[in-house]
């Protein structure tokens, strides 16, 4: 078989003039000037080359050929009279001696114009994803993803980590989300589960004597989609280290990630080691969030004592938090929109007032503040022109709403957000336990298999709500990139930690038999983390939606509209795995 091409469509330069070449690619478009003159754009994975049709014979070969058909073109390279500096191949053109159709597009009309596919409806883009990916702007995101993953692999290997793949078919375990279940043909009534994360396997590798493990790991969780979370499956840079502390994990991540963000990111500046470390409680009190965007210079302050008795009903009996913004220039319309957006996000109302240039409190709830005007101005350190956003409610509700107000107004107000960088931080010292909002009972706060700070002594002698854990989150630009922990590798401490929430040793044994038994054979201390690859690439690429950086994403309803998944299967397939479908009754 004759070789399809001698060069790709981004390769030819002026130095190639006079060469006889063979190109292959997609018929991008044809600007036909006359029956014997036209300019064809040939596009492949690498770029675009102009083909100049100069006779009727060659033009006839394109008769009836639709855009996006694949072509093979033989011809001679020559210098262009009218050069195109926007193209890498803009100094040359190819005059064809032969044109062959390698793959014919049978449709006269496409679902969307390839070069403008990002403007098309998302449902149409996902259905015709193979066409969407022909758009260089879309394709480049997948190329970027490949380069980032390659760089991560290289860096982890250079840091002495061994890449090991862990099982995809495993057992169901409580990880905090719903499992995807796979029925067993050979074991009627039993199911495999797709792993929500390789958590247990990587800890078992440490127990097995492996020192440093990593994997670009596929994870499967049956949860709803968000802009920064893909339903169904996602990938993470999973890593674990034996004989390691929290500091060891931090050192590796702080060395591996910033160069990747700096090299490939839309912003070329990324935090350097050491990243700022913020205790969980401090993060909540200062920023109203455990994933603060440190590019914003605003902070949350408590003004409960100052404002709770001002006569404004929503403040009575509640905590009141404030976010002060100086050099404020937004209009009333802009203020109202940001306040409304906060309600949409949190379900809690936001409030506000301003100190105008005359030194008067105006707007929002200002009429309730006039009696103590001077005291409020003094206590809050207000200057003329300052704006104050407020939240009220229970301790947690007030903080979370203030955190959203901080983010909304910080991003909207000029001079309060450094937008051209990646700001990393560690959130540390998470509480080991909390009172569950729904149950009202003591529960694990974050990860039940984390090592409590203070070990057995803390579990036996301290108030459970005061115990901190060696747990940490990696946050960049207000997005949680990863959670990690120093693992609880001691069976006695593990059993005691579970007993605090009412679970006994048998509960631990039955739910996590392999890991618990392995730890009974002398497990080394170990720690790890797993930054999300999809979310990382989204941030690096500057995309708003995570679906833009996934080759074949599902839609918001966890459906693959291109492949038609999920789909029905025939009765024989169901019989093979001992499954009978019982459809929910129609309530109507």
Which tens digits make up the pLDDT trace of 66-96? 999 999 999 999 999 999 999 999 999 999 9
How much of the chain, in percent, has pLDDT values that exceed 70? Answer: 98
Give the number of other CB atoms < 10 A from CB of residue 533.
Answer: 23
- pLDDT bracket for residue 174 (50, 70, 90): low
Spatial strand order in the sheet of 162-163: 162-163, 212-221, 232-242, 526-529, 479-486, 471-476, 424-428, 276-279
Q: Are residue 42 and residue 23 in the same domain, yes or no?
A: yes
Whether 581 is in a domain gets the answer: no
Average pLDDT value for residue range 50-72: 95
Average pLDDT value for residue range 308-331: 94
Q: Are residue 456 and residue 532 in the same domain, yes or no?
A: no
Structure confidence at residue 143 (pLDDT)? 97
Residues 6 or more apart whose Cβ sits within 8 Å of residue 97? 20, 74, 75, 76
Dihedral sign from CA coordinates of 389, 392, 394, 395: positive
Q: In what helix (H) or strand (E) does residue 515 lie, and over which residues does it extend?
A: helix 513-519
**Whose CA is closest to 539, among 411, 424, 454?**
424
Q: Are residue 541 and residue 509 in the same domain, yes or no?
A: no
Structure confidence at residue 508 (pLDDT)? 86
pLDDT tops 90 at residue 224: no
Q: Are residue 221 and residue 248 in the same domain, yes or no?
A: yes
Q: Are residue 511 and residue 537 in the same domain, yes or no?
A: no
Give the number of other CB atoms < 10 A from CB of residue 415.
Answer: 12
Whether 587 is in a domain gets the answer: no
Q: Are residue 408 and residue 452 in the same domain, yes or no?
A: no
Whether 579 is in a domain gets the answer: no
User: What crossing angle do the helices spanning 533-541 and 246-264 adopt, rounded to 10°?
Assistant: 40
- pLDDT bracket for residue 511 (50, 70, 90): confident
The DSSP code sequence of 391-441 is: EEESHHHHHHHHHHHHHHHHHHSTTSB--SSB-EEEEE--BSEEE-TTT-S
Structure confidence at residue 588 (pLDDT)? 55
Q: Are residue 409 and residue 313 in the same domain, yes or no?
A: yes
Domain boundary among 415, 443, 471: 415
Structure confidence at residue 427 (pLDDT)? 98
Q: What is the CATH number of the domain that holds 75?
A: 2.40.50.140
Domain boundary among 415, 443, 460: 415
Q: Are residue 306 and residue 411 in the same domain, yes or no?
A: yes
d(CA 344, CA 401): 11
How much of the chain, in percent, has pLDDT values that exceed 90? Answer: 88
d(CA 560, CA 578): 26
Do residues 197 and 217 touch, judged by C-beta distance below 8 A?
Answer: yes
pLDDT tops 90 at residue 350: yes
Encoded tokens for 29: 């478009």
pLDDT tops 70 at residue 335: yes
- pLDDT bracket for residue 226 (50, 70, 90): confident
Do residues 18 and 24 touch, judged by C-beta distance below 8 A?
Answer: no
Structure confidence at residue 1 (pLDDT)? 44
Whether 570 is in a domain gets the answer: no
Structure confidence at residue 3 (pLDDT)? 67
Q: Where are the alpha helices (DSSP H) in 101-229?
A: 122-127, 129-132, 136-158, 199-207
Whether 576 is in a domain gets the answer: no
- pLDDT bracket for residue 436 (50, 70, 90): confident
Encoded tokens for 91: 């100094």
Q: Are residue 532 and residue 518 in the same domain, yes or no?
A: no
**pLDDT digits 0-9 by tens, 125-171:** 999 999 999 999 999 999 999 999 999 999 999 999 999 999 999 99
Q: Are residue 471 and residue 544 in the same domain, yes or no?
A: no
Backbone phi, psi, residue 362, to 5°: -135, 160
Whether 585 is in a domain gets the answer: no
Whether 577 is in a domain gets the answer: no
Average pLDDT value for residue range 372-379: 95
Encoded tokens for 479: 């997005």
d(CA 373, CA 323): 17
Encoded tokens for 137: 């702007």
What burial letters (b/e) apply to 112-141, b meaning 16+ CB within 10 Å? bebeebeebeeeebbbbbebbbbbeebeeb
Q: Are residue 407 and residue 317 in the same domain, yes or no?
A: yes
Q: What is the CATH number of the domain that holds 193?
A: 3.30.930.10
Whether 285 is in a domain gets the answer: no
- pLDDT bracket for residue 439 (50, 70, 90): confident
Total domain count, the chain: 4
Q: What is the CATH number of the domain that holds 318?
A: 3.30.1360.30
pLDDT tops 70 at residue 175: no
Domain boundary among 103, 124, 154: 103
Q: Which of 202-216, 272-286, 442-456 has the lowest mean pLDDT?
A: 442-456
pLDDT tops 50 at residue 564: yes
Structure confidence at residue 587 (pLDDT)? 58
Q: Which domain holds residue 77?
A: 14-103
- pLDDT bracket for residue 223 (50, 70, 90): confident
Structure confidence at residue 61 (pLDDT)? 93
Q: Are residue 463 and residue 406 in the same domain, yes or no?
A: no
Average pLDDT value for residue range 343-357: 95
User: What crossing angle do the helices spanning 136-158 and 246-264 adopt, rounded to 10°?
Assistant: 150
Please tell me which residue, 346 or 585, carries the higher pLDDT value.
346
């Amino acid at each position: 078989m004759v070789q399809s091409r001698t060069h790709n469509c981004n390769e030819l330069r002026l130095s190639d003039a006079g060469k006889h070449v063979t190109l292959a690619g997609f018929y991008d478009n044809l600007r036909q000037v006359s029956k014997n003159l036209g300019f064809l754009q040939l596009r492949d994975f690498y770029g675009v080359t102009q083909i100049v049709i100069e006779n009727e014979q060659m033009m006839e070969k394109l008769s009836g050929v639709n855009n996006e058909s694949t072509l093979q073109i033989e011809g001679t390279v020559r210098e262009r009279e009218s050069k195109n500096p926007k193209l890498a191949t803009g100094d040359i053109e190819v005059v064809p001696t032969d044109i062959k159709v390698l793959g014919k597009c049978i449709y006269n009309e496409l679902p969307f114009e390839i070069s403008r596919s990002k403007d098309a409806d998302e449902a149409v883009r996902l259905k015709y994803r193979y066409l969407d990916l022909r758009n260089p702007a879309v394709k480049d995101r997948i190329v970027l993803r490949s380069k980032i993953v390659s760089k991560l692999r290289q860096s982890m290997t250079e840091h002495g980590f061994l890449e090991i793949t862990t099982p995809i078919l495993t057992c169901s375990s409580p990880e905090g989300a719903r499992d995807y279940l796979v029925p067993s043909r050979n074991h009627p009534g039993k199911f495999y589960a797709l792993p929500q994360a390789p958590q247990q396997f990587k800890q078992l590798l440490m127990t097995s004597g492996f020192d440093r493990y990593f994997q670009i790991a596929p994870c499967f969780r049956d949860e709803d989609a968000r802009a920064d979370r893909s339903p169904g499956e996602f990938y993470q840079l999973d890593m674990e280290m034996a004989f390691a502390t929290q500091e060891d994990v931090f050192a590796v991540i702080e060395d591996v990630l910033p160069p990747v963000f700096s090299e490939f990111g839309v912003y070329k500046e990324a935090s350097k080691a050491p990243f700022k470390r913020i205790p969980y409680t401090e993060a909540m009190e200062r920023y109203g969030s455990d994933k603060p965007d440190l590019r914003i210079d605003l902070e949350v302050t408590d003004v409960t004592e100052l404002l709770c008795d001002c006569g404004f009903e929503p403040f009575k009996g509640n905590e009141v938090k404030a976010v002060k913004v100086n050099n404020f220039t937004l209009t009333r319309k802009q203020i109202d929109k940001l306040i409304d957006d906060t309600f949409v996000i949190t379900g809690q109302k936001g409030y506000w007032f301003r100190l105008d240039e005359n030194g008067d409190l105006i707007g929002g709830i200002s009429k309730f503040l006039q009696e103590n005007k001077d005291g409020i101005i003094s206590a809050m350190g207000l200057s003329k022109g300052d704006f104050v956003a407020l939240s009220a409610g229970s301790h947690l509700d007030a903080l979370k709403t203030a955190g959203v107000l901080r983010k909304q107004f910080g991003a909207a107000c000029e001079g309060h957000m450094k937008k051209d960088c990646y700001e990393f931080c560690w959130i540390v010292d998470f509480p080991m336990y909390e009172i569950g909002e729904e149950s009202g009972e003591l529960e694990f706060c974050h990860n039940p298999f984390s090592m409590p700070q203070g070990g057995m002594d803390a579990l036996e002698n301290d108030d459970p709500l005061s115990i901190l854990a060696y747990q940490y989150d990696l946050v960049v630009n207000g997005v949680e990139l990863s959670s990690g922990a120093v693992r609880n590798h001691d069976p006695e401490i593990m059993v005691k930690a579970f007993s605090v929430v009412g679970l006994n040793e048998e509960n631990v044994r039955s739910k996590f038999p392999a890991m618990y038994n392995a730890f009974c054979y002398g497990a080394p201390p170990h720690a790890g983390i797993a930054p999300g690859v999809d979310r990382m690439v989204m941030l690096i690429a500057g995309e708003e939606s995570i679906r833009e950086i996934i080759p074949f994403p599902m839609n918001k309803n966890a459906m693959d509209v291109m492949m038609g998944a999920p789909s029905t299967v025939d009765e024989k397939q169901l019989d093979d795995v001992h499954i009978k479908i019982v459809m929910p009754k129609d309530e109507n």
